[in-house]
Amino acid sequence: MAEKKILLGNEAIARGAYEAGVKVSSAYPGTPSTEVSENVVKYDEVYAEWAPNEKVAMEVALGASIAGVRSMCAMKHVGVNVAADPLYTAAYTGVKGGLVLVAADDPGMYSSQNEQDSRMVARAAMVPVVEPSDSAEAKEFMKYAFDLSEKYDTPIILRSTTRLSHSQGLVELQERVEPEDIAYERDAAKFVMMPGNAIKRHLFVEDRLKRMAEDANTMPINKVEYNDLSVGFITSGIPYQYVKEAMPNASVLKLGLVNPLPKKLIEEFASKVDKLYIFEELEPVIEEQVKAWGISKAVGKEIFTVQGEYNAEMIREKVLGEPTDADKPAQVPPRPPILCPGCPHRSVFTVLKKLKIHGAGDIGCYTLGAVAPLSVIDTTICMGASISTLHGMEKAKGKDYIRNWVAVIGDSTFMHTGINSLVNMVYNQSTGTVIILDNSTTGMTGHQDHAATGKTLKGETVPAINIYNLCKSLGIENVYEVDAFNQKELEEVIKRETAREAVSVIITKAPCALLKGVKFPFKCRPVSDKCKKCGACLKPGCPALTKNEDGTISIDETMCNGCGLCMQLCKFSAIEQVKVGE
Ligand SMILES: Cc1ncc(C[n+]2csc(CCOP(=O)(O)OP(=O)(O)O)c2C)c(N)n1
C-alpha cells in the first residue's frame, strides 16, 4: 500500500516536483514560498539552489528546460515581478523539459509589502495557471503541471497562497518517475527571441491559449459537483474549502486550471444553477471573464472583498444572511512586530536616530526601523529600492539634501538587487552613504544562505562573495567595515561619510542574534543604585528592558542576549555585562 504522510502545502509541492522527475530547482526565498526549496533540496535526485534573485532563478530553470530536463523555480508573488522579464518571453519560447514556476501569493499580507494576484500577472504574460486546494492536490497538480507544460509547450505557474503553503494535509506518496532525457537540438526559431522569430511565436502563444481553453472543458482538474441547484459557486484554491465548509450542499464548479478558463464548462454550470457566486480571493480574475461572456447573474466582488483572506463565515453572512462575528476584531492584545533582543540592526538605528538621519529603507528585518521608538526608516518599496531611491533624491534635490540621509539595505537584499543600484550611483556620479547591514543571513525569511554567506542550499561550503571587495571593485574608494555593536565607531564613520561628497559604503557586521551557532557569552544586568533614571537605555526599544514604577529599569534575563547596546548607552555605568550563568 502506498505510504501516506501529513505534509505542509509547500512540502507537497516539493514532493510533486520530485515525483515528476524534476532535475533542477532554482529559487530565491520569500514567505510563503520558502519551504518549497527547503524541501526539494532533501531529494538527492534534484539539483536545488538559492539564486541571488527571482529573475536569475527563472532563467536557470529555463536554461535547464532548454537543455531537456524538467525544472522549476519558486518565489513569492512579488518575486514574480522580478522574474517577469524572462517569464513573459519564456511564454513565447515555450519549453523542452517541463517548466513550472511556483508562485505563492499572500492574501492578507502576513509578510508582504503588497497583495498582488499572480493570476493577473499570468494572464498578462499569457502563461497558464493551475491552483490546488490542499496538500494532496498540491502534489498532484505539480505533476499535472509538468505534463501540461510539455504537452502544450509552455511554462506553467502553480499558484499557491499562504493558507495552502502553510497548512498541512494528508498526501499519498508515489514513486519518482524519471522522464526520458531529451537530446539537445538547436532550435533558433524557438529559443532566439528576436523579432523575426518572436512574431511567429506570438501567434503560437495565442493559439496555444485557445487550444488549452478548449481542452480545459474536459480537463480532470476542473471539476463540477452538482448538488442543490438553487445555489452554485465557481471557485478555486483554498476558497473552495470555505465553500464546502459553509454550504456543503451547494453546487460547485471547482477550477484547477484558472488560466485559461473553460468557457463551455462555466456556461453550462451557470445555466444549471439559479444563483451563481464567484468566490475568489483578491482580484476578480474569474469574475471579470465570466461577466464578459454575458453571464450577468454572476455575483462576486459586489459582496465579497478584494482584500485579505476569505473564510467560511463570509459565505454564511453574505449568501445565507446569517449573523456573524467575522468583522469583529479578534479579542487579543495587539503585538506589533519588533526587532529581536540582540539584533544588530537596532544598534545601527540607534546611531542614525541620534544623528537625526533619515533612512531610505529596503525589505528585511530592518524595515522595522520604521516603527517607534526607532522611526528612522522613511521609505520601503521593494527589494533593492533603498539605494536607487536615495540616488533619485540626490538627483532631485542635490548633494546637500542628502547629507542627513542614508540608504539602509540587508546583505541578502544587497545581493538580490542592491548591487545594480550601487553600480548606478557610481556610474552617475552620486553622492550618498549606503549602509549594508550584514548579519550573515537572510533573516526575515528564516535564515537562508546567499552568495555572501559561503553556504549553498545543499549545505556545501563555498567561497563567500566578499561584499567589501565587491564594492571596492566598483571603484568606490570609501568602503568601511564596522562592528554593528560599536556605537562610538558607528557614530564616527556615519558622521564622516554623510558629510563626504562621494559614494560611501558602510558595511555593519554582526550575525543575526538567532542564527544557529551564534553565542552571546554575556547577559546585561542593571546596577540599580547607580541608575539615574534618565531612560537612555530604553530609547532603542529593546524588548528585554522595562521601566519600573520608580523609574529604574529591569532586564529580563530570559530575553537578553547580552549584546551590550543598553550598557553602551548608559553614561552612569548602571548596566553591567555578566558572564552567562553568573
Ligand atoms: C522580490 C522579493 N523577493 C523576496 C522577498 C522576501 N523577502 C523579504 S526581505 C528578504 C531578505 C531579507 O534579508 P536581508 O536583506 O539580509 O535582511 P535581514 O532580514 O537579514 O535583516 C526577503 C527574501 C520580497 N519581499 N521580495
- What is the secondary structure of 554-571 as a DSSP string? EE-TTT-----HHHHH-T
Residues 6+ apart with CB under 8 A from 78: 30, 112, 113, 114, 116, 382, 383
Q: Is 410 in the pocket of ligand 1 (CB under 6 A)?
A: yes
Ligand 1 centroid vs 425 CA: distance in angstroms? 22
pLDDT tens profile 13-71: 999 999 999 999 999 999 999 999 999 999 999 999 999 999 999 999 999 999 999 99
Q: What is the CATH number of domain 344-509?
A: 3.40.50.970
Q: Which residues touch 420 (CB under 8 Å, ≥6 apart)?
A: 384
Of 200, 180, 215, 145, which is closest to residue 69 (Cα–Cα)?
180
- 367-383: pLDDT as tens digits: 999 999 999 999 999 99
CA atoms within 13 A on the CB side of 259: 23
Higher pLDDT, 5 or 520: 5
- Residue 580, pLDDT score: 84
For the 223-318 domain, the top CATH level (class) is: alpha beta
Closest atom, ligand 1, to C-alpha of 29: 23
Ligand 1 in contact with 367 (CB < 6 A)? no
| Strand order across the beta sheet in which 24-27 lies | 47-50, 24-27, 71-76, 99-105, 156-161, 129-130, 257-259
Instruction: Give the number of the atom of ligand 1 that is nearest the alpha carbon of residue 112.
Output: 25
Assigned C-alpha cell, 260: 485559461
| Residue-wise pLDDT tens digits, 421-466 | 999 999 999 999 999 999 999 999 999 999 999 999 999 999 999 9
CA of 414 to the centre of ligand 1 (A): 10
Quick: pLDDT tens for 526-577.
Answer: 998 999 999 999 999 999 999 999 999 999 999 999 999 999 999 999 999 9
d(CA 413, CA 415): 5
Q: Is residue 492's pLDDT more than 70? A: yes
Q: What is the pLDDT of residues 286-343, one digit of tens each?
A: 999 999 999 999 999 999 999 999 999 999 999 999 987 766 767 788 888 899 999 9
- Long-range contacts, stretch 167-170, CB < 8 angstroms, 24+ apart: 167/8, 167/9, 167/135, 168/6, 168/7, 168/8, 168/9, 168/135, 169/6, 169/7, 169/9, 169/12, 169/134, 169/135, 169/136, 170/4, 170/5, 170/6, 170/135, 170/136
Ligand 1 within 6 A of 103 CB? Answer: no
Closest CA to 441 of 461, 459, 455, 421: 455
Grid cell, residue 264, equals: 463551455
Atom of ligand 1 nearest to the CA of 437: 21
- The protein residue with its alpha carbon nearest to ligand 1, atom 15, reads 410
User: From CA 435, how far away is CA 349, in angstroms rounded?
Assistant: 11
Closest CA to 228 of 97, 319, 108, 330: 319
Whole-number Å distance between alpha carbons of 447 and 35? 12
Q: Which residues pair with 434 in a beta bridge?
A: 407, 505
Q: Which of 39, 33, 48, 47 is nearest to 14 (CA)?
A: 39
Phi (first) and psi of residue 393, to 5 degrees: -65, -40
- pTM for this predicted structure: 0.96
Q: Which CATH architecture has domain 4-217?
A: 3-Layer(aba) Sandwich (3.40)
The CATH architecture assigned to 522-579 reads 2-Layer Sandwich (3.30)
Reported residue count of the chain is 582
Instruction: Please report which confidence band the pLDDT of residue 244 belongs to, taking 50, 70 and 90 as the band edges.
Output: very high
In the chain, which segments carry CATH 3.40.50.920?
223-318
156 lines ligand 1 (CB under 6 A): no
CA nearest ligand 1 atom 11, residue: 364
Phi/psi region, residue 446 (left: phi>0; alpha: psi -120 to 50; beta: rest), is left
Report the percent of the chain where pLDDT is more than 70: 99
Where does the chain hold its CATH 3.30.70.20 domain(s)? 522-579
Q: Where in the chain is the domain with CATH 3.40.50.970?
A: 4-217, 344-509
Alpha carbon distance 518, 440 (integer Å): 11
